[in-house]
Structure 1
Amino acid sequence: MNRRWHRPTLFAWFLLLAGLAAFLGLSRWQWLRGQEKERLLASYAAAQSGGLRQYAALPAQLDSEEYPHIAVQGEYRAGRGYWLDQQVRQGQVGRHAIALFAPRGDSKLMLVDQGWIAAMPGQPAPVWPALPAGEVELHGIYAPPPGGGLRIGGDALPRQNGWPKLTLFLDLPAITADLGSAVAPRLLRLDADPASGYAREWTPAVMPPEKHRGYALQWFSFAVAALVIFIVLHWRKSDKGII
Structure 2
Amino acid sequence: MLLTRTYLKSAVAASGVLAAIITMVGLGLWQLQRMQQKELRLNSIAELSGQQGVALSALNLKSDLLQDVPVQFVGQPDLNRLVFLDNRIEGGVVGYEVLVPVVFEHGQVLVNYGWVAATQSRQQLPVVSIDPGEQMYHGVVSVPQRNPLVSETAQSTDPFPLLIQQLDLPKLEVLLETELVPVVIQLSAQKDSAFVRNWQPVVMPPEKHFAYAVQWFVLAMAAAIVALLVFFSKGRQYDSSEYKS
1:233 equivalent among 226, 230, 234: 230
- Report the identity percentage: 29
Deviates more, 1:120-129 or 1:85-94: 120-129
Query: Equivalent residue of 1:102, what SS?
Result: strand
1:210 and 2:207 correspond: yes
RMSD in angstroms over aligned alpha carbons? Answer: 2.7
C-alpha distance in 1 between matches for 2:59 and 2:213: 37
Could you tell me which amino acid in structure 1 is paired with residue 159 of structure 2? G
Q: Residue 202 of structure 1: CA displacement? A: 1.8
Classify 1:43/1:231 alpha carbon distance in 2 versus 1 (closer, same or farther; 3 Å): same
The corresponding residue for 1:33 is 34
Give deviations 1:36-79, integer Å, cap 9, x for gaps. Answer: 22333333343333222111222232333653221112221121
Higher RCO structure (Cα 8 Å, ≥6 apart): 1
Q: Are 1:150 and 2:142 matched, yes or no?
A: no
Amino acid at match of 1:97: V
Matched, 1:125 2:116: no
Partner Cα separation in structure 1 for residue 20 and residue 143 of structure 2 = 37
Report if aligned partners of 1:99, 1:111 keep a CA contact under 8 Å in 2.
yes
Q: Alignment partner for residue 161 of structure 1, among 150, 158, 161?
A: 158
Report how far residue 186 of structure 1 moved.
1.0
Task: Report the Cα distance in structure 1 between the residues aligned to 2:236 and 2:191, rounded to whole angstroms.
Answer: 78
For 1:238 and 1:146, how far apart are their aligned partners in 2?
Answer: 54
Aligned equivalent of 1:195: 192
In the alignment, the residues of structure 2 paired with residue 45 and residue 239 of structure 1 have an alpha-carbon distance, to the nearest angstrom, of 59
CA shift in 2, pair 1:162/1:139, >3 Å: same
Tell me, yes or no, if the aligned pair for 1:95 and 1:119 is still in contact at 8 Å: yes
> Residues of 2 paired with 1:121 and 1:34: CA distance?
42
Equivalent positions of 1:170-189 (< 5 A) are 170-189=167-186
Aligned to 1:3: none
Secondary structure in structure 1 of the residue aligned to 2:82 = strand
Q: Which amino acid aligns with 1:99?
A: V
Q: Any gaps of 5 or more consecutive residues in structure 1?
A: 1-6
Q: Which structure features the higher share of helix residues? A: 2
Change (3 A) 1:101 1:240: same
Are 1:84 and 1:170, in contact at CA under 8 Å, matched by a contact in 2? yes
- Call closer, same or farther: CA 1:121–1:25 in 2, change over 3 Å: farther
Conservation of the 8 A alpha-carbon contact between 2:35 and 2:207? yes
CA contact (8 A) 2:111 2:186 kept: yes
Compared CA separation, residues 142 and 239, structure 1 to 2 (3 A)? closer
Quick one: structure 1 residues 96 and 160, their matched pair in 2 at CA, closer, same or farther if it must change by over 3 Å? farther
**Aligned pair count?**
233
Contact 1:37–1:206 (8 Å) recurs in 2: no
1:22 aligns with 2:19: no
Describe the superposition over 1:171-222 as per-residue Cα deviations: whole angstroms up to 9, x where unpaired.
0110011122211111111122222211122213622322222221121112
Does the 8 Å contact 1:111/1:188 carry over to 2?
yes
Partner of 1:54: 55
CA contact (8 A) 1:113 1:189 kept: yes
Structure 1-normalised TM-score? 0.83
Residue 87 of structure 2 contacts residue 94 of structure 2 at CA under 8 Å; is this kept in 1? yes
User: Which ranges of structure 2 fall in alignment gaps of 5 or more residues?
Assistant: 1-6
Which residue of structure 2 lines up, in the alignment, with residue 112 of structure 1?
111
Q: In structure 2, what is the Cα distance between the partners aligned to 1:63 and 1:239?
A: 57
Contact 1:146 1:205 in 2 (8 A): no
Matched AA of 2:226: I
Q: Is the 8 A contact 2:96 2:116 kept in 1?
A: yes
